[in-house]
Structure 1
């Protein structure tokens, strides 16, 4: 796996749909460049949970990680076999897990493939990147807006803290909250579903952020501690950070939301880290699926 871009994601969604017809895929919106943003549902339960990945372009490895999780979960469900001691048929009869595996497809393609002379944003992107052709560290979407600084949760304060006055590779929150089609689509999608819990996958740091300005429900801290125990990560009470997806979800719905920073290193994490990262993400997501049941 040299890279996992948008085309690979679409191929994998088609392949999994043929193997496991109980998977449901829909498009929740489009990127700036018109790429459909897919969401995948596994499970038939009335209770709904959500995981998203690759909101930051150079954290693209979160996409194949969550897609491998979906495939292994589907396989366990289809065969009726337990996975790490959990009865997946029971879980998926009670829950539906909705996954948005690549929130920022234009940005991921930029990180993986760079820009050629025919790229419609070539001149602008080169200027924003300091005339450097290497876009491997780019976090933002194709317009230079950092999608995880885009949500209406004390957005103005985050913009002032970041001090990024215009588009660039990272940290610019846009002219207004939800100005970008990718974040607007994710917000609409979230508002249309009664998600009991959400997980936003990022890299790196081996940390789990669980709070937001006291808006989180009382169980959030104990949930984060459980995720930390199974993964070896640290549950962190974060301050001085706003406008992220997790922040907005907690503020808007007063339900548990988590940002999981996978692995250690410099983004983008190398593909050689995939197996180790997958060993960490599986217990996190399986436990997240079971948290509300175990703790009711």
Structure 2
């Protein structure tokens, strides 16, 4: 791979340099074996940066064009185009003849970012993914409180079994987009015999089996995105639990007001007392008993049936990786978290004072590596405009995770 020289300036980090060069943090680290990757960069240091192999897609503005029209044509947002083109005049339309850098996007893209990427989108896109990539398997692991299917999709035929779940918390639904986009990109890379995240996709496919549950909490996601419909069977109760507010931006729970990530039998009683929430609420209510909710029970049973070797629960936000639980995690967990952090730019943390989460239960039950990944930064629900940057980090983290499997 062709390398370019880069002289560091004050404030540079591996992550900031990698993002500017459109490469992964891990690729940047591999290109600079002469220095420790976790050592702060000093201004004036000479680093070697892999050259971006992708040619930029350019559009020349035509008379009558508008940024909104170009964004609609591409299926992205105005803000995404402005972020790619910092030379654009603020608050004004680009003039005819001006060149725009466009996001690189396959014409046949299946999973498209949307401000309302909900349960119906997941169902439709899974069918389209299976049609495009027949080696992707799908199944239904259970149903939600309101009877919505909870889907799982599998890819790979290797002996090491990974699991990824997303949208356990309703207002973190953007994680479903990340999980679904990863399935698409991984499937396409396998079909075309390409690399993904710097790794050979066919090799990952041979070594691992990955099962993804892209939306654990479909009822809650629907509330966050669409609000409470008057004809909802639980409308009166949900409205009361939400204190009469028409906004469900802060809703994390399922349709019975139970926080699904406080539902697992690993210090459940301790977490219930710590939270101090004694009845259904938008968040933090642990329920009447562990696994009382159909969504959590379905995920636990699926995990037991599949006997996963390692798991990732994808949440937002904070750009952190939690890898431990009560000293029950295996010795390799800390090193794996370090590698995932290096790949993504996220910070590995040993978490204390938290129980009853899916990752906690998995570690306690199986003594195998389990991780909670808090993707992105900001306030939930994170905006769709943050998706591309979040996805790039998570793509690198997930491919690094698959590569952790034994050879």
State TM-score, norm by structure 1.
Answer: 0.98
Please show how residues 24-173 of structure 1 align to structure 2 within 5 Å: 24-173=137-286
Rounded Cα–Cα distance in structure 2 between residues aligned with 1:230 and 1:20: 27
Aligned residues: 294
Alpha carbons 1:3, 1:271 under 8 Å: kept = no
1:292 offset after TM fit, Å? 2.3
Alpha carbons 2:208, 2:405 under 8 Å: kept = no
**Structure 2 match to 1:184:** 297
Q: Which digits, 9 at most, give the CA deviation of each residue in 1:68-94, with x for residues without a partner?
A: 011000000000111232111111112
**Structure 1 match to 2:379:** 266
Rounded Cα–Cα distance in structure 1 between residues aligned with 2:175 and 2:198: 24
Rounded Cα–Cα distance in structure 2 between residues aligned with 1:125 and 1:200: 26
Which of 374, 390, 393 is matched with 1:280 structurally?
A: 393
Please show how residues 207-222 of structure 1 align to structure 2 within 5 Å: 207-222=320-335
Please show how residues 198-209 of structure 1 align to structure 2 within 5 Å: 198-209=311-322
**Structure 2 match to 1:245:** 358
Alpha carbons 1:217, 1:255 under 8 Å: kept = yes
Bigger Rg, structure 1 or 2: 2
Alpha carbons 1:29, 1:182 under 8 Å: kept = yes
Q: Describe the SS at the equivalent of 1:192.
A: helix
Alpha carbons 1:63, 1:102 under 8 Å: kept = yes
Q: Describe the SS at the equivalent of 1:259.
A: strand
1:167 offset after TM fit, Å? 0.5
With 249-258 and 109-118 compared, the bigger mean Cα shift is at 109-118
Greater helix share, 1 or 2? Answer: 1
Runs (4 or more) in structure 1 with deviation over 6 Å come to none
Q: Does 1:225 align with 2:346?
A: no
Alpha carbons 1:201, 1:260 under 8 Å: kept = yes
Q: CA RMSD in A?
A: 0.8
**Structure 2 match to 1:10:** 123
Alpha carbons 1:208, 1:261 under 8 Å: kept = yes
Structure 1 stretches lacking a partner, 5+ long: none
1:193 offset after TM fit, Å? 1.2
Alpha carbons 1:3, 1:112 under 8 Å: kept = yes
Rounded Cα–Cα distance in structure 2 between residues aligned with 1:237 and 1:46: 29
Q: Describe the SS at the equivalent of 1:78.
A: helix
Rounded Cα–Cα distance in structure 2 between residues aligned with 1:18 and 1:149: 36
**Structure 2 match to 1:195:** 308
1:144 offset after TM fit, Å? 0.2
With 78-87 and 212-221 compared, the bigger mean Cα shift is at 78-87
Alpha carbons 1:63, 1:101 under 8 Å: kept = yes
